[in-house]
Amino acid sequence: MLPPQRASSDSTYTTIPVSFSAAISRSFQNLSTTYSRQRPWPEFLASASECSRPDSLAGATSRLRLNSKYFGINYAIVITLCGAFSLLGSPLYLLLIASVFFLWLLLWFSREDQIVIGGHHISEQAVMIGLAVVSVAVLWFTGVFNTLLIGVSVGILIVAVHCMLRIPEGVFLDENDAVHSGLINAQSTPSVNRV
């Protein structure tokens, strides 16, 4: 009789191989889910009453942190649009850069499953290196790096100004933020009448 095997403390997990098309399909679903988390644009485009100059550096930092979490998807869209507007003068380059950007979104930021091509698992490192090589090659051959950098920098500047001027009052991400801001009491338990 064989001795019973002991379970090791280091559990190993294996992933179920998923075809390339299934991985891409899930990436599209994740990308769609992420996009749907954007805040409504009228809420994002605050009125003058919802904006003010921060009182201190700590206040500006707090606003930057809260607003970047709450409006993160909107800010990503603004930065992307600024980068795209900077390339409007050369539509072919805009399409190339947009394709590379879309590959990053699809294969890196929104992908959950490991890619399998021809029965071979493609490592995360290989995906990252491949995307980086394609990005550098497109930027090198198109020569639009400086133009794109200026557009993205303008987008980041717009986002930073919005983050620091937008008053985050009433903007809560979840229950933990509401508790820390004092909106709800963490110790809220029903009171029991004792006789």
Q: What is the pLDDT of residues 112-138, one digit of tens each?
A: 777 777 878 888 899 899 999 999 999
Residue 104 exposed, middle or buried by CB count within 10 Å (0-12, 13-18, 19+) = middle
How do strand 120-122 and strand 115-117 relate by DSSP bridges? antiparallel
Burial of 161 (0-12, 13-18, 19+ CB in 10 A): exposed
What's the distance, Cα to Cα, between the start and end of the chain in Å?
Answer: 66
pLDDT tens-digit readout, 31-65 = 888 888 888 888 888 777 888 899 999 989 999 99
Q: What is the pLDDT of residue 5?
A: 47
The 3-state DSSP class for residue 115 equals: strand
What gap in Å lies between CA 22 and CA 116, rounded to an integer? 10
Residue range 69-102, pLDDT digits in tens: 999 999 999 999 999 999 999 999 999 999 999 8
Whole-structure pTM over 0.85, yes or no?
no
Contact partners, residue 109, CB within 8 Å, separation at least 6: 31
| pLDDT (0 to 100) of residue 159 | 95
